[in-house]
Amino acid sequence: MEKNQNNPLGTEPIGTLLTRFAVPSIIAMLVSSLYNIVDQFFIGRSVGMLGNAATNVAFPLSITCTALSLLCGIGGAANFNLSMGKNQKEKAVKFAGGAIGMMLTLGILLCILAQIFLNPMMLAFGATDQVLEYALTYTGITSLGFPFLIVTTGGSNLIRADGSPKFSMICTLTGAVINTILDPLFIFGLDMGIAGAAWATIIGQVVSGIMVLTYLSRFKTVHIPLKTLIPSKAAWFPIISLGVAPFCNQLAMMIVQIVMNNTLTYYGGQSSYGSDIPLACAGIISKVGMIFFAIVIGISQGIQPIISFNYGAGKYDRVKAAYKKAVTAAIGISVVAFLLFQLAPRQIIGIFGSGSEEYFLFAEKFFRIYMFFTFINGIQPITANTFTSIGKAGKGVFLSLTRQIIFLLPLLLILPVFMGIEGVMFAAPVADGIAAVLCIFFIIREFKHMGSERKEV
């Protein structure tokens, strides 16, 4: 118990811990999103609008990688920290090893599936005749790096759980810097076009993945034997249980992205904009939105070790303090993003290449309406991850699904029937508002329950 009481997660000021864990996590998530942003920038400059549309069609598979990463990484890290908070070191070792084994297995499996079913996937994800060739080239290459991408993103959570948030940031940063340097070299210098962007991405991911695996082979707080990487119900089931909430949130994003792509293509074809303009604009907006969400998700991942450890140790006041500070920070960031999206949409779109006046008018309108409730979007992921961090996976899963599946997906199907392509734009702010209110209701109830638990103890 002495080690438990002296662990900095249970003793240091919450603000200090949040800065130490959340800032590297935010930087790591931002850098991770740069893979897509940098590709989008250079592809837009070389290939143009159809290249931007192709990366949008490929985006659901990138989201799938993130979903699997969080399933293994968050689930493994939460179980690891909860076990360490309870001084159950042997269980913690099994969870860390099990998470690593899951990442490697699922990464290889997804790579194989993507290679086999690439063409039907791209068509299902909304590729038009003009976009399909670019999408096949880009995704056919980038899918080879899926195992390394999943290990990097998921393993970073374990590295943070082990008390090394800065190193997790360095791993992701290294790959992104390599990608940024190689993108213009391959695309313009070697005249490889969209294929060059894909190869630059893979090389960066491989380097980051190797760095993460090297660290995981020599954990600081525990030793992880190779035998713990073998699939085990005792480890995998609890990992899946606590990782399923962020997994479902990302999976929901993928489903919504696919439905939105097809809806934009269908209703865009019935409008004056055509099918390709909405598809290209949505791709850029999704990638730009990733920058904002990367910060929020980084904050939610940063508080995970703090909340898990202190909840396991019965220090509920520290759990509440960590949540409140995280939400306050997320709302502050969200307000800044909201102002940028409302005041400078044309300037943001212009970064990713040129287009017709009609293209920019549609993009401005889409940006302002679709991202209108950005200033409250930080509440949902942090609240859902808080429930996951305290071991209440059911509530975490439900809250993860509220915005994307329960509200946004039906609205994407219903509103365009009455409003045409503008229905896609208005679906998001309606879903955002309802999801935020629901999360506030759930967390208030949970905090009251924590208070009664503390008094009973």
For residue 253, pLDDT beyond 70: yes
For residue 310, pLDDT beyond 90: no
**86: its two tokens:** 């309870």
pLDDT band at 355 (very low <50, low <70, confident <90, very high): low
**Mean pLDDT (whole number) for 258-284:** 76
| Contact assessment for residue 247 and residue 67, using Cβ atoms and an 8 Å cutoff | yes
Burial 381-407 (b: 16+ CB within 10 A, else e): bbbbbbbbbbbbbebbbbbbbbbbbbb
For residue 2, pLDDT beyond 70: no
| Contact assessment for residue 336 and residue 356, using Cβ atoms and an 8 Å cutoff | no
Tens digits of per-residue pLDDT, 30-83?
Answer: 776 666 677 667 776 676 667 767 777 777 888 788 888 888 888 888 788 777
Q: Give pLDDT, residue 35.
A: 64
Q: Give pLDDT, residue 138.
A: 85
Please indicate whether residue 175 or residue 85 has the higher confidence score (pLDDT): 175
Number of H helices, E strands in the chain: 20, 0
Q: Give pLDDT, residue 108.
A: 92
pTM: 0.66
Alpha carbons 347 and 335: distance in angstroms, whole number: 18
Q: Where are the domains of the chain?
A: 14-231, 243-456
pLDDT band at 29 (very low <50, low <70, confident <90, very high): confident
Give start and end residues of each alpha helix (H) in 86-128: 89-116, 118-124
Q: Give pLDDT, residue 457.
A: 37
For residue 112, pLDDT beyond 90: yes
CA 144 to chain centroid, in Å, comes to 20
> Which position has the token pair 């696919």?
258
Burial of 191 (0-12, 13-18, 19+ CB in 10 A): exposed
